[in-house]
Amino acid sequence: MEPIYFYKMSGSGNDFILIDGRTLSIKELNLSDLAKRLCHRTFGIGADGLIVLDKAEEADFRWYFFNADGSEAEMCGNGGRCAARLANLIGLAPQRMSFLTKAGIIHAEVDGSRVKLELTPPFGLKLGIRLSLNDREERVHFVNTGVPHTVFVVEDLEGIAIKETGKRVRFHEYFRPAGTNVNFIKIVGPNEIHIRTYERGVEDETLACGTGSVASAIIAYKLNRVTPPVKVKTKSGEILEVFFDEDLNQVFLKGDTRLICKGEVLEEVFK
């Protein structure tokens, strides 16, 4: 097996394994299987997702993003910020860059450990969806910020059964076949919300979600509850900043990243 070298990074509590794909024969690798093995938290390195960077003609680089369960995702905000920082560190991209994802071309700017990401314009906005759940009707909201997100506005974040409720909504017939990520937010001020997220593909609560933070800020804005820029306090305690214009044609996500470690994947992970 050819050596596979990796970096591990965190974006506000979302952790990722990143690989410089220029050193690999990517077409010969089963990246879905690799993601499941490497992201496993007891038999692998452990992460929310796997990101493989490679050269591209249309942008500074392209990425391949896989969730911990092996499913390929269109976009990931915190993963995108980590990818941008690493691409700059390894000389794959300048400080101001573009990279190709399944959601389209994403632009980013790296300033030390902080990264500002411009997402593709959101679409599919729906407010006040009446969803039958647990023998009762819930009022939820939806927007796609590169990946689908459903948002609950609640008063008590700590009292929510995140995994149970999140799973039921994620697989709800209303959102088939793609499914949805599920966010629970508390609006605490005119420019601040707190958030907890159940992530599709991880199938559990994560400590942060970039596209979910953007989706939730946009929903809160459309409900006339906040004005941009919006500070989003994640489960990890870190703050993400969301910027957007009135027409939502330009949407930005900004926050810290951490480069945790680097190493080599050994063959026994494939046993």
127 with 242, same domain: the answer is yes
In whole angstroms, what is the distance from residue 69 CA to residue 32 CA? Answer: 8
20 and 55, same domain (yes or no): yes
Q: What is the mean pLDDT of residues 14-28?
A: 88
- Domain around 188: 123-249
CA dihedral 267, 268, 270, 271 (to 10 degrees): 140
Average pLDDT value for residue range 3-32 = 91
Residues 164 and 135 in one domain: yes
Residues 111 and 198 in one domain: no
Give me the mean pLDDT over the 30-39 stretch.
Answer: 96
Q: Which of 75, 15, 90 is nearest to 45 (CA)?
A: 15
- 136 and 239 share a domain? yes
Same structural domain, 156 and 80: no
Give the CA dihedral 263, 268, 269, 271, nearest 10 degrees: 170
Q: Looking at the structure, do residues 210 and 231 belong to the same domain, yes or no?
A: yes
Is the sign of the CA dihedral 170, 174, 179, 181 positive or negative?
A: negative
Per the structure, the count of domains in the chain is 2
pLDDT at 2: 79
Of 130-134, 216-220, 230-234, 240-244, least confident by mean pLDDT is: 130-134
Same domain, 144 and 206: yes
Same-domain status, 155 and 48: no
CATH number for position 70:
3.10.310.10
Over residues 138-156, the mean pLDDT reads: 97
Q: Classify the C-alpha dihedral 140-143-147-148 as positive or negative.
A: positive
Instruction: Say whether both 261 and 245 belong to one domain.
Output: no
Three-class secondary structure assignment of 137-167: EEEEEEEECCCEEEEEECCCCCCCCHHHHHH
Regarding whether 192 and 163 lie in a shared domain, the answer is: yes
76 flagged as catalytic: yes
Percent of the chain past pLDDT 70, that is, above it, reads 100
Considering the domain architecture, whether residues 56 and 68 belong to the same structural domain is answered as yes
What tens digit of pLDDT does each residue of 52-97 get? Answer: 999 999 999 999 999 999 999 999 999 999 999 999 999 999 999 9
Which residue among the candidates 39, 82, 209, 261 is catalytic per the annotation?
A: 209
Nearest to 90 by CA among 267, 265, 259: 259
